[in-house]
Amino acid sequence: MNPLLEKLQPYPFEKLKALLSDVKPPATKTAISLSIGEPKHEAPSIVKQALIDHIDKLSVYPTTIGSLELRQAMASWVEKRFSVPQGWVTPENHILPVNGTREALFSFTQAVVDNSKEALVISPNPFYQIYEGAALLSGAKPYYLACTQENNFIPDFDKVPADIWQKCQILFLCSPSNPTGSITPIETLKKLIKLADTYNFAIASDECYSELYFDESNPPAGLLTACAEMGRHDFDKCVVFHSLSKRSNLPGLRSGFVAGDAKILKKFLLYRTYHGCAMPEQTQYASIAAWHDEQHVVANRVLYREKYDAVLSILSPVMDIKKPDGGFYLWPKTPIADTEFTKQLLIKQNVLVVPGSYLSREIDGLNPGENRVRMALVAPVKECIEAANRIKEFLTEYY
């Protein structure tokens, strides 16, 4: 077996299962899960219809690069959404369809890391655990940058020593972030691009939550927005990851794309032809329908705003909790250890959250997720309100 497998840590939900193995929630209360970031809003009808209309494509082998029509839809969406000049993102060179960002983030790391020399993969802390696992299995070493409240949950990149940047091969970003919901400012993105030029590393920007924000007139910038403002038409060293899972409530479709540096994507495509991860043709047609439509995305944001407003009005008086910049998570402080809070909340109220320490690593005695929990506001509005009321009752009664 690959010895690098021994370096992998249990996934957060495995730890959560072990933590709660002896817990018996109250039978008088229905279970409410705020633990998994799995959107529960209705999938767009246009996507369902596209799947039905092209179900006969089950008998066709898909190509790894996907259809030109699909890549055109993705390229057009990127340019429009992120204020990239028309024609900069070409479907021939700057777009690759992927089966969701999770598999793409992992396989991208395997394709990019040169483990013949000491390699670091830098990521925020807390983080999406795929970043860490991908780094370890590529033969690289993860390097974690703490995201604390003092810095609005964004890493302090100015404190990273030059010798660390010199060893860096991939810098992972996540904006809006999982789990903190912070958005990386465009000036910070530009600064990181200049660092990538100086030290020759790739920036992998996980932007799967980019369409979940609060101000319709001010959508968050992405890495390619920064490239456009810098006149960087080749997107050198810059790659972004997008998905329909959160944007369009389609986690089961497993559909997204990677866009950016054509030189990197050419090699990544070569890797993927061997990786065996072509997107099924019926999924491609469904994805085209989704990327061409914004109406359902706007409606989706309305629902999340409603949930945030309702939940925060209930919890703010009793909990150290703040509205994030984007995404669908809350990242509140807990009055006791995050693991004990999670356990007692399930025992008393049958509401499930994730301990923040399970989403982070302790570095130099600091675990940035300690004494916080992640709450995913993915359930229907009424269910989120019910969960908030139960959490308030729990806090009021015991703390």
For residue 194, tell me if it sits in a domain.
Answer: yes
Please give the average pLDDT of every successive group of 10 residues along the chain, which has 399 residues.
Answer: 96 97 96 96 97 96 97 98 98 98 97 97 98 98 97 97 98 98 98 98 98 97 98 98 98 98 98 95 98 98 98 98 98 98 98 98 97 97 98 93
Co-location of 91 and 199 in the same domain: yes
Using only C-alpha atoms, what is the Rg of the chain?
Answer: 21
**Tokens describing residue 102:** 């999770």
Co-location of 87 and 174 in the same domain: yes
Tally of domains in the chain: 2
Nearest to 147 by CA among 361, 373, 335, 312: 361
d(CA 316, CA 344): 20
Kind and range of the H or E run holding 260: strand 256-260
Co-location of 9 and 83 in the same domain: no
CA 371 from chain center: how many Å?
Answer: 22
Co-location of 66 and 7 in the same domain: no
d(CA 19, CA 399): 21
Co-location of 12 and 66 in the same domain: no
Which CATH number goes with the domain that contains 329?
Answer: 3.90.1150.10
d(CA 272, CA 267): 9
Q: What is the DSSP letter of 366?
A: B
Co-location of 217 and 169 in the same domain: yes
Structural domain ending residue among the three candidates 225, 259, 293: 293
For residue 47, tell me if it sits in a domain.
Answer: no
Which CATH number goes with the domain that contains 199?
Answer: 3.40.640.10
Task: Give me the amino acid identity at 124.
Answer: P
For residue 113, tell me if it sits in a domain.
Answer: yes
pLDDT at 398: 83
Structural domain ending residue among the three candidates 237, 261, 293: 293
Domain extent at residue 364: 3-42+296-398
Co-location of 337 and 373 in the same domain: yes
**Tokens describing residue 6:** 């021994």
For residue 54, tell me if it sits in a domain.
Answer: no
For residue 48, tell me if it sits in a domain.
Answer: no
pLDDT at 330: 98
Co-location of 30 and 78 in the same domain: no
Co-location of 169 and 36 in the same domain: no
Co-location of 324 and 388 in the same domain: yes
Task: Quote the crossing angle between the two packed helices 129-138 and 101-112, to the nearest 10°.
Answer: 30
Co-location of 283 and 312 in the same domain: no
pTM: 0.97
- Decide the pairing of beta strands 373-376 and 354-355: antiparallel
pLDDT at 399: 79
Phi, psi (degrees; rounded to nearest 5) at 255: -140, 130
For residue 51, tell me if it sits in a domain.
Answer: no
pLDDT at 18: 98
For residue 53, tell me if it sits in a domain.
Answer: no
Task: Give me the amino acid identity at 340.
Answer: E
Structural domain ending residue among the three candidates 293, 326, 354: 293
Co-location of 93 and 168 in the same domain: yes
